[in-house]
């Protein structure tokens, strides 16, 4: 029972968690890949049990949200692919999926996904606590430490998307 036989690498799960509409979610295609099933199978199972998935458990993305994600992730919008807008599952929605998809793989992956959501929540809580403490310290000390506080804030800021230069490199 104490063994840590991870079915899916934690990093893969954490990369799948996105922030949409102020919620941490995983897209249907990412969950399907983690479970080892086709996306249409996962969606079909969810639709057969739609009463288990209220809007705070799952929602369908808008065309605008899909375009934004496509731009951020860098996927093409060429021919083929999906014929419907993707679904996003919150932590509770992912937990509910384990009751809909009853395979052993789905249950084991669900446990790993729940752990990833908890870790993410802990990291965000720690970061918020650090920001609050930094604000308190900054109010206590005068301007001679302003540069130190500014540097700390820059170090604590979430990393932005790295910009890539487009075009040919000059050598």
Please measure the distance between the N-terminal and C-terminal CA atoms of the chain and give it in whole angstroms.
58
Which DSSP string corresponds to 120-169?
HHHHHHHHHHHHHHHHHHHHHS-GGGHHHHHHHHHHHSPPPPPP---SPP
Residue 69: phi, psi to the nearest 5? -65, -45
Tell me the three state secondary structure of residue 69. Answer: helix
pLDDT tens per residue, range 72-112: 765 555 445 677 899 999 988 888 887 787 677 776 777 77
Name the percent of the chain lying above pLDDT 70: 70
Tell me how far apart the alpha carbons of residues 85 and 79 are, in angstroms, rounded to a whole number. 15
Domains and CATH numbers, the chain: 10-120 (3.10.260)
Tell me the three state secondary structure of residue 47. Answer: helix
Sequence-ordered list of residues with C-beta below 8 angstroms from that of 151, at least 6 positions apart, any chain: none
**Closest by Cα among 42, 55, 49, 53 to 84:** 42
Is residue 166 predicted with pLDDT exceeding 70?
Answer: no
pTM: 0.59
The pLDDT, as a whole number, for residue 85 is: 92
């Amino acid at each position: 029972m104490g063994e840590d036989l991870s079915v899916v690498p934690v990093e893969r799960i954490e990369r799948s968690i996105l922030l949409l509409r102020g919620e941490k979610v995983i897209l249907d295609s990412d969950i399907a890949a983690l479970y080892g099933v086709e996306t249409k199978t996962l969606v079909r199972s969810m639709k057969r049990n739609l009463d288990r998935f209220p809007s705070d458990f799952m929602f369908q993305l808008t065309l605008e949200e899909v375009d934004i994600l496509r731009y951020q992730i860098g996927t093409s919008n060429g021919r083929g692919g999906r014929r419907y807008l993707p679904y996003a599952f919150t932590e509770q929605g992912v937990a509910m999926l384990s009751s809909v998809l009853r395979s052993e793989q789905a249950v084991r992956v669900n446990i790993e996904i729940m752990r990833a959501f908890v870790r993410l929540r802990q990291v965000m809580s720690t970061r918020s606590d650090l920001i609050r403490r930094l604000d308190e310290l900054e109010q206590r000390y005068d301007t001679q430490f302003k540069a130190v506080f500014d540097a700390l804030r820059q170090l604590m800021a979430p990393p932005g998307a790295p910009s890539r230069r487009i075009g040919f490199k000059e050598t």
